[in-house]
Amino acid sequence: MMPAGDSWRQPDRRFVVTGSARPRDIRDLMGRPFFALGKTPRLTPIDYQARHITIMVRSENAGGMATVWDVDVLIWLTGQIVDALNHGLWVSRHVRFTPWRLFQDLGWASGLHEYHRLRRALERLSTTTVMTNIRQGADWRERPFTWISDVRISRDEGVALTLPDWLMEAACDRSRVLSVDPAYFCLRGGLERWLYRLARRHAGRQKEG
């Protein structure tokens, strides 16, 4: 298990992904409008409020805000964190991985196109700003975050990045994550992906399907 005291907050250590793991999604993200559903760059902000939930998403990047396809990276990283915890390993929100490992697990090809696809996804994830009152308390407007930060890509060490505390806290709480069927990553439509995640969050695994 992860040592006590939120050791994943230590700035001088990095969690290195070395193997495959079952992808997992975070309940708070499933079925709520945190991501753009189209492939055309979305610059229009998202302002969502339902009952006691408020979500605000912004991006000034010319490539638009993070999309439902970009979230594949977060789902994969969440699965890696959960799998490490299940095996009693130390984890950190500071992560390093090789693109090849991600491509293998998500069923991507391994050509130049996929490397460009990953770079664009990382750019959108790092330039999309989120504010939400979900698990943020009364001062949530003063606690914006981006999906990833401190992104570095090199030929020798692969990808290094930092996840926000908000996402990391959810990933380390087993009650807040759900496994994702690998076939999900074959869904091409943004609406299809949104519907799967919504159904997975509310229906789970039931005998009736």
Please state, in angstroms and rounded to a whole number, the distance separating the CA atoms of residues 209 and 193. Answer: 17
For residues 131 and 115, the answer to whether their CB atoms sit within 8 Å is: no
Residues of the chain above pLDDT 70, percent: 91
Q: Predicted confidence band at 3 (pLDDT cuts at 50, 70, 90)?
A: very low
Q: Predicted confidence band at 1 (pLDDT cuts at 50, 70, 90)?
A: very low
* Predicted pLDDT at 203: 78
* pLDDT digits 0-9 by tens, 4-33: 345 555 555 789 998 999 999 999 999 899
Query: Could you tell me which of 26, 196, 183, 31 has the C-alpha nearest to residue 106?
Result: 183
Full-model pTM: 0.90
Q: In degrees to the nearest 10, what's the CA dihedral of 71, 95, 81, 138?
A: -70
Q: In degrees to the nearest 10, what's the CA dihedral of 125, 166, 85, 185?
A: -40
Residue 67 dihedral angles phi and psi, to the nearest 5° = -105, 170
* pLDDT digits 0-9 by tens, 63-85: 999 999 999 999 999 999 999 99
